Amino acid sequence: MTAKEFGINHALFGVEDYKTYTKKRAAFGDAFSRTKLLKIEDQINQDIESGCNWIEERSRNGEEVDLAFLFRAVPAEIITRYLFGQEKGFLKDVQATKNLYDKTMDRLFGFSHLGRFIPKEIPLFTALFRQLIKRAMGLNDPGSAFLDYFLLAQKLVQKVVDRHNNPSSESEGISQHTVFDDFLDSSLPQEEKEKGPLTQQAVAIWSGGWDTVGFTLTMGFYQLLQNPEIKERLYHELKNAWRDPNEPPVMATLDKLPYLNAVLKETFRHSPGALCRISRVNPTSPEQYKAWEIPPGTIISMSIPDVLSDEAVWGSDAAAFKPERWIGRTDLDRYLVNFSKGTRICPGIELAWIEIRLMIASLFRKYDMTIPPDANVTDDDVMPYYEGFTPIVKNWISRLPVVAKLRD
């Protein structure tokens, strides 16, 4: 249902039949395994370093820096290069990047909810309303997050297809064998590799690779910057383990830091990847839930936010941002369900953990950051409020302006 509401039911997470799903999942090979992703650790660090340079350039001029923008631009660059072998310069093209996560128009016309009833028409309606607004009101392009990332993903994957079908030609901007080259080389039927289905795969994986990561980082930093004791404890742990901040961080070192791990888990706990109910079906066996036996074939859905905030699991302070709750409590890991569980777990889970670990470590090791009081940042700018499958803030577009100073 979720995939259909966005008109991307060919995408991996939209496949209902389990056998078909496993074949499509296998078409990506080991691209999203931790072992494979650690091979691009240096490149990820380079992209994060570009983000740090962006912070320092603006800080030298006395400017505030919008972390919400940074946390979309850097992950978008990482996932774009990894999936498609292309660089787009998201840090430089500020307005185009903001259009990717500005949900004003999408929410205004209720596209995510309309899609549950007329999914195939949503891309057309989005484009139509966008043009009507521009013409009727004389405005600049208002942007549409859904349409913008759909069209951009289409262009990105088409360039890979063109190069793949004509390997003797040099496709400008593609510098490596890509994840989608592997998909095109797979044994899937040819109809799954046509423009429509292939674009749907690209939209789902590409947008999931930066949108949810960006939201999680923004929310996590918002919580950390409001808790000076947590922020300083994290900084001192990082400083002791990573002596020279001019050297890139090393995942093998960061993995062993208990407080950083606790901060990461608490950040994920407060950042549900999806706000809607995720449906599952056991087609062959009954399911026992307390006193109820659920017949086979019954659609069962669970709300991820309900699990992540259940006081029966997390205690009476479940609403608080408290990394200490994770120290010595590996039994809680089973309730961290942001990425779902089992065979349908989000394929991007390992990449998200790597990116968020490196980003949090890099910025808190290098900078002392504060939210200026006159920026008037509230929960309405950062925290989940609307459900558009993934979270949407009350003010439609996330923002988190900070003043950043280099640590000594």
Among candidates 383, 268, 270, which has minimal Cα distance to 317? Answer: 270
Tokens, residue 126: 């989005």
Q: Does residue 346 have a known ligand-binding role?
A: yes
Residue-wise pLDDT for 168-199, tens only, equals 666 566 667 899 999 999 999 999 999 888 98
The residues that bridge with 391 in the sheet, in sequence order, are 387
* Choice between 167 and 308, residue whose per-residue pLDDT is larger: 308
DSSP class of residue 187?
S
- Mean pLDDT value of segment 379-408: 90
Range of the domain at 148: 2-406
Alpha carbon distances (Å) from 110 to 144, 203, 215, 267: 12, 20, 20, 29
pLDDT score of 105: 63
AA identity, residue 185? D
- Mean pLDDT value of segment 229-242: 98
Among candidates 362, 111, 321, which has minimal Cα distance to 227? Answer: 321
At residue 300 the predicted structure's pLDDT band, cuts being 50, 70 and 90, is confident
The owner of tokens 């777990």 is 345
pLDDT score of 114: 58
Rounded to two decimals, what is the model's pTM? 0.90
Residue 137 pLDDT greater than 50, yes or no: no
Query: How many domains is the chain partitioned into structurally?
Result: 1
Instruction: In whole angstroms, give the CA distance from residue 395 to residue 224.
Output: 21
At residue 142 the predicted structure's pLDDT band, cuts being 50, 70 and 90, is very low
Q: Is 92 exposed, middle or buried (0-12, 13-18, 19+ CB in 10 A)?
A: exposed
pLDDT score of 169: 63
DSSP class of residue 139?
P
Tokens, residue 358: 């490196």
Instruction: In whole angstroms, give the CA distance from residue 399 to residue 212.
Output: 15
* Choice between 149 and 224, residue whose per-residue pLDDT is larger: 224
The residues that bridge with 235 in the sheet, in sequence order, are none
3-state secondary structure string across 346-403: CCCHHHHHHHHHHHHHHHHHHEEEECCHHHCCCHHHHCCCEEECEEECCCCCCCCEEE
Q: What percent of the chain has pLDDT over 70?
A: 85
The mean pLDDT value of the chain amounts to 87
Residue-wise pLDDT for 15-31, tens only, equals 878 888 899 999 999 99
* Choice between 114 and 93, residue whose per-residue pLDDT is larger: 93
Residue 33: CATH number of its domain: 1.10.630.10
First vs last C-alpha separation in the chain: 51
Residue 49 pLDDT greater than 70, yes or no: yes
Residue 144 pLDDT greater than 70, yes or no: no
**Entry field: residues in the chain:** 408
Residue-wise pLDDT for 55-76, tens only, equals 999 999 889 999 999 999 999 9
* Choice between 352 and 96, residue whose per-residue pLDDT is larger: 352
- Mean pLDDT value of segment 230-252: 97
Tokens, residue 290: 């307390």
210 backbone dihedrals φ, ψ, rounded to 5°? -135, -30
pLDDT score of 390: 79
